[in-house]
Amino acid sequence: MIKDLRIGIDVGGTNTDAVVVDNQGTVVAATKAATTPDPFDGIRAALEQVLVGVEKDRIGQAMLGTTHPANAVIQRRSLQRVGTLRLAAPATVGVRPGAAWPADLLAAIMGPVSIIRGGNNYDGSEISPLDENAVRAFAGEIAGVVEAIAISAPFSPASHDHELRAAEIIFEELGPNFAVSLSHRVGALGLLERENATILNASLLGVARGVVRGFDAALTQNSLDVESFLTQNDGTLMSAEEAVQLPVLSLGSGPTNSMRGASSLAQLSDAMVIDVGGTSADVGILVDGFPRESASAIEVGGVRTNFRMPDLISIGLGGGSLIGETPDGVTVGPDSVGYRVSTDARVRGGSTLTLSDISVRGGRLQGFGDPALVESVSEDTVRQALAWVDSQIEIMVERMKASKHVLPLIAVGGGSHLVPDEVAGVSEVVRPPNHAVANAYGAAIAEASGSIDQVYRYGEQGRESSLEEARWAAVDAAVRAGADPAAVRVTSINEVPLTYVPGEACRVQVKAAGPLLR
């Protein structure tokens, strides 16, 4: 049997979406199930529904996008205690690990902390030789006290021998299964932000194991024998084994999946995307098929990290947003009934007036509940609520636009019926087929990727030859991650000159991606 199908699943705040896609990218089946308090119940239900009438033997891979690890951080739930070792002395002691963390997160996560001798300079030379005895001493300090260790060192994205050696010593001292998180695998340049991400990553290792186990169990229960993957912040995939090691890289995958899915469903690589869910609406912009990334530092649960996440504007506007009728006029949101919209909305026999009811009454949404149940809602209320929706969408789109060039707007998500057919400042509103499951579609079509982040000296090596080397290194990393060597391509190159460094030193970040090799 040819394995020519794959499953994409996205666990959102309101719905868990699932799609089955063939190798041409055509949607074979799609479904939405309510997200449940235990998200794996929703995943199991969505899987079961989407597989009706699909030949299971043809399915080769399953991709999951989930907010589970992100919620664990935000809610300070199921996080492991972490020992933090920085290999850098006598440099970097001016700011200790955990500086500027919210107190409750520190209390939940931070175990013993030490800055010991080690680490590298920008040119690869050692700041100090690694103090192996200090690593052993730290292992003794954390034994029985914490469940994981985070190890960081200056310039480790370029020179990671010290981090690797320190991990080896930890394994020697605490056993080969001790949970170790190394900063060079987690993030890019910027020691404090990378170290923060590494500590968060270490604290999430238990959650990650739970996610992967739960996902695999849901697949097994549905008699699926497939490779499983999780989606990352940049819209590319990591294998389940990698996800167990690097859960922090999945923290922002939701919006990316939605935008990548929208791009592919609409066959547009340069456009704006609006994703309207049950609770909120996000607007982002696609450049060459990928979301434009935010330039500012990303905070996760109050901790500064240096992840690249999509540049988004979000507001509380969704199908479940509550409508309030006051003497001063109609108010919308920000509270929402979320996934309960399918039972609580008036058109579904509930008692709560939501934006979905307004949309039905105003003629934007068809086939959802019984329109007769909202006939009593006044036309004035409908007009005011929809005027608010339209002006909010217009403002978000205007704020997101990159230039005066007019772009199309792709409307996706379960609440996208709220988006009017005409929006000022956009060329057209595109509603691609299967737009309601764009998130899951984005997960299903996600590609394997690889990246590098290194300092090159153009003065010695030449710019062209440096960039060529960097491109190859990124392509090689993508192929190692599972990308088809014949179809892998460089998706971004970022050069940041190092001021005051001789020899025209330049920090080069390159990312490559390609479809999975079948």
Partner 1 sequence: MRLIDLEELDPLTLGATLLGNGGGGDPYQAKLMAHQAINDFGPIKLISADELPEDALVVTIAVLGAPTVIIEKIPSGQLYADAVRALGSYLGQEIAAILPVEVGGMNTLVPLMVAAELGLPCIDADGMRRAFPQIEMTVFTLAGISASPVALADEHGNTVIVVSKTNQIAETLIRNASMNLGLANSFASYSMTAGTARTVAIQGSLTYATEVGRLLRAIQGGTGSWEDLYAFTGGRTLFEGKIVDLDRRTTSGFARGTVVIEAFANGSSTMRIEIQNEMLLAIEDGVTVLTPPDLICMVDHETAEPITTEQLAYGQRVRVIGMPCAPEWKREGMMEVVGPSAFGYDVEYIAFEGEAQ
Note whether 198 binds partner 1 by CB under 8 A.
Answer: no
What is the C-alpha end-to-end distance of the chain, expressed in Å? Answer: 13
Element (H, E) at 186: helix 183-186
Part of the chain binding partner 1 (CB under 8 A), chosen from 31-39, 207-215, 259-267, 394-402: 394-402
Interface residue with partner 1 among 45, 63, 167, 191 (CB under 8 A) is 191
Q: Does 406 bind partner 1 (CB under 8 A)?
A: no
- Do 240 and 230 contact (CB within 8 A), yes or no? yes
Residue closer to partner 1, measured from CB, 120 or 228: 120
In the complex with partner 1, which residue's Cβ is closer, 128 or 239? 128
Cβ atoms 47, 222 nearer than 8 A: yes
Does 190 help bind partner 1 (rule: CB under 8 A)?
yes
- Peptide bond before 291: cis, by omega within 30 degrees of 0? no
Q: Does 464 bind partner 1 (CB under 8 A)?
A: no
- Identify residues 479-518 at the interface with partner 1 (CB under 8 A): 495-502, 504-507
State which of residues 24, 177, 296, 351 lies at the interface with partner 1 (CB under 8 A). Answer: 296
State yes or no: residue 155 binds partner 1 (CB under 8 A).
Answer: yes
Distance of CA 197 to the CA centre of its chain: 14
103 binds partner 1 (CB under 8 A): no
Question: In this structure, which amino acid lies at residue 180?
Answer: V
Nearer to partner 1, 90 or 363 (CB): 90
Residues 158/162/166/169 CA torsion (nearest 10 deg): 130
CB of 119 to partner 1, least distance (A): 8
Q: Where are the alpha helices (DSSP H) in 310-450?
A: 341-344, 355-361, 379-400, 438-444
- Binding test (CB under 8 A) with partner 1, winner from 176, 375, 404, 421: 404
Q: Is the Cβ of residue 94 or residue 327 nearer to partner 1 in the bound state?
A: 94
Nearer to partner 1, 252 or 432 (CB): 252
Residue 96 found at the interface with partner 1 (CB under 8 A)? yes
Write the DSSP symbol of residue 386.
H
Phi-psi region of 478 (alpha: psi -120 to 50; beta: other; left: phi over 0): alpha
- Pairing type for strands 271-276 and 236-239 reads unpaired
Query: With binding defined as CB under 8 A, does residue 149 bind partner 1?
Result: no
By CB under 8 A, tell whether 409 contacts partner 1. no
Nearer to partner 1, 183 or 250 (CB): 183
Q: Do 85 and 96 contact (CB within 8 A), yes or no?
A: no
The distance of closest approach from Cβ of residue 491 to partner 1 in the complex, given in angstroms and rounded to an integer, is: 17
The answer to whether residue 37 forms part of the interface with partner 1 (CB under 8 A) is: no
Task: By CB under 8 A, tell whether 292 contacts partner 1.
Answer: yes
Q: Which of 387, 395, 412, 370 is nearest to 323 (CA)?
A: 387
Give how far Cα 146 sits from Cα of 102, 169, 180, 203, 486, Å.
Answer: 20, 17, 11, 10, 45
Task: Tell me the window of 242-250, 354-362, 400-408, 466-474 that interacts with partner 1 (CB under 8 A).
Answer: 400-408
The answer to whether residues 116 and 138 touch, using CB atoms and an 8 Å cutoff, is yes
Interaction between residue 93 and partner 1 (CB under 8 A): yes
Where in 322-361 is the site for partner 1 (CB under 8 A)? none
Q: How far is the CB of 287 from partner 1 (least distance, A)?
A: 9
The site map against partner 1 for 113-132 (x = CB under 8 A) is ------x-xx----x-----
Half-sphere exposure of 216 (CA within 13 A, CB side): 13
Decide: 463 and 470 in contact? Cβ < 8 Å.
Answer: no
Interface with partner 1, residue 87, by CB under 8 A: no
Q: Could you say which of 51, 259, 455, 513 contacts partner 1 (CB under 8 A)?
A: 455
Q: How far is the CB of 331 from partner 1 (least distance, A)?
A: 19
Taking the C-alpha atoms of residue 167 and residue 119, their distance in angstroms, rounded to an integer, is 14
Stretch that binds partner 1, among 37-45, 190-198, 321-329, 469-477 (CB under 8 A): 190-198
Residues 6+ apart with CB under 8 A from 250: 65, 66, 69, 70, 230, 231, 232, 233, 238, 243
Closest to 508 measured CA to CA, from 473, 470, 461: 470
The yes or no reply on residue 154 touching partner 1 (CB under 8 A) is yes
Choices 63-71, 96-104, 210-218, 326-334; region in contact with partner 1 by CB under 8 A: 96-104
Pick the closer one to partner 1 by CB: 144 or 404. Answer: 404
Helix H or strand E encompassing 8:
strand 5-11
Beta bridge partners of 73: none
Is residue 145 near partner 1 by the rule CB under 8 A?
Answer: no
Q: What is the distance of C-alpha 43 from the center of its chain?
A: 18
Using the minimum distance from each CB to partner 1, give the nearer residue, 104 or 380: 104
Q: Smallest gap, in angstroms, from Cβ of residue 499 to partner 1?
A: 5
Checking phi first, is residue 442 left (phi over 0); if not, alpha (psi -120 to 50) or beta?
A: alpha
Query: Which two structure tokens, joined as six digits, stand for 435?
Result: 């737009």
Binding site for partner 1 (CB under 8 A): 88, 90-96, 99-100, 119, 121-122, 127, 154-155, 189-192, 285, 292, 295-296, 304, 399, 401-404, 455, 495-502, 504-507
